[in-house]
Chains A and B, each alone.
Chain A
Amino acid sequence: DGGITQSPKYLFRKEGQNVTLSCEQNLNHDAMYWYRQDPGQGLRLIYYSQIVNDFQKGDIAEGYSVSREKKESFPLTVTSAQKNPTAFYLCASRNPLTGASNTEAFFGQGTRLTVV
């Protein structure tokens, strides 16, 4: 079955550590996105990528980094510079490259990151 997979489901990080969240899709989608979800704040865009080897900052990119070396994969690194990283992180993908506005995004099941 085609879909988008995030791992791990739960992640614990000590202060000062970098952690990487995985996102893989087999939908052959060109565009991939990372959102952060906090209670009462909805979804906020961290980074997005429209094509391999290219990505753009979203609204809250500070303290995060991404790579897009393969079409299927878009990992997110939460660095020690992110001051309040505890949140629910959602990855999504979408097609086509031309950005037709009527195509919906498909979401993974999310990763809950907690700083301990």
Chain B
Amino acid sequence: GNSVTQMEGPVTLSEEAFLTINCTYTATGYPSLFWYVQYPGEGLQLLLKATKADDKGSNKGFEATYRKETTSFHLEKGSVQVSDSAVYFCALSDSSGYSTLTFGKGTMLLVSP
């Protein structure tokens, strides 16, 4: 079956540091890949997505590139802010007709001033 593996957190950084959160996946066919963000006490919001190999998703300074050869979709940001503190979830949707979303366990990011 499908699965998503994320690096365990928390990831603790100082403001303006470089961020990488690793995500690898196992899936059949050609899945679409997503990063969601969850702020405390709230639901999930889509951060970015990529739908085919070598696509790069980007939003609010965050980027992730769909690497089929390494089955990875690592999240990066060049300079984090305190307001980026949240839990980040990597997810995939496979190409079957009635697919559901499969999520990783989430990685908490804590950014200090």
Residues of A within 8 A of B (CB): 6, 33, 35, 40-43, 45, 48, 50, 58, 90, 92, 94, 98-99, 101-110, 112
With beta carbons under 8 angstroms apart, the residue of B31, B42, B45, B106 that contacts A42 is B106
Q: How many A-B residue pairs have CB under 8 A?
A: 61
Q: Does chain A have a CB within 8 A of B72? A: no
Which of B44, B94, B99, B106 is within 8 Å of A90, CB to CB? B44
- The contact of B97 among A42, A99, A108, by CB within 8 Å, is A99
User: Would you call A101 and B43 a contact (CB within 8 A)?
Assistant: no
Q: How far is the CB of A19 from chain B (nearest CB, A)?
A: 19
Query: Do B105 and A101 touch across chains, with their CB atoms under 8 A apart?
Result: no
Query: Are B51 and A105 in touch, CB under 8 angstroms?
Result: no
List B residues at the A interface (Cβ < 8 Å).
30-32, 34, 36, 41-46, 49, 51, 89, 93-101, 103-106
Q: How far is the CB of B58 from chain A (nearest CB, A)?
A: 15
The complex places the Cα of A32 from the Cα of B93 at a distance, in Å, of: 14
Q: Is the CB of B46 within 8 A of A109?
A: no
Task: Given A42-B105, A101-B93, A102-B49, answer yes or no on A58-B42 (Cβ-Cβ < 8 Å).
Answer: no
Q: Is the interface of B mostly helix, strand, loop or mixed?
A: loop
Q: Decide if A101 touches B51 in the complex (CB within 8 Å).
A: yes
15 CB < 8 A contacts A-B:
A6-B43, A33-B100, A42-B103, A48-B100, A99-B96, A101-B96, A101-B99, A102-B32, A104-B46, A105-B44, A106-B46, A107-B45, A109-B43, A110-B42, A112-B41
CB distance from A1 to the nearest CB of B (A): 15
What is the CB-to-nearest-CB distance from B35 to chain A, in angstroms, rounded to a whole number?
10
Residue from the list B51, B93, B98, B105 in contact with A40, Cβ < 8 A:
B105
Q: Which residues of B contact A101 (CB under 8 A)?
A: 30-32, 51, 93-96, 99
